Amino acid sequence: MAAIKISSKVEQAEWQALQELARESHQTISGLLTEAIADYVRRRRMRPLVLDHLEASIAENEELGRRLAE
Q: Supply φ then ψ for residue 65, to 5 degrees.
A: -60, -40
- Beta-carbon contacts of 40 under 8 Å, excluding residues fewer than 6 positions away, are none
Digit-coded pLDDT (tens) for 14-48? 999 999 999 999 999 999 999 999 999 988 887 77
Buried b (16+ CB within 10 A) or exposed e, 11-37: eeeeeeeeeeebeeeeeeeeeeeeeee
Contact 25, 35 (CB under 8 A): no
For the entire predicted model, the pTM comes to: 0.64
Rg (CA), the chain: 21
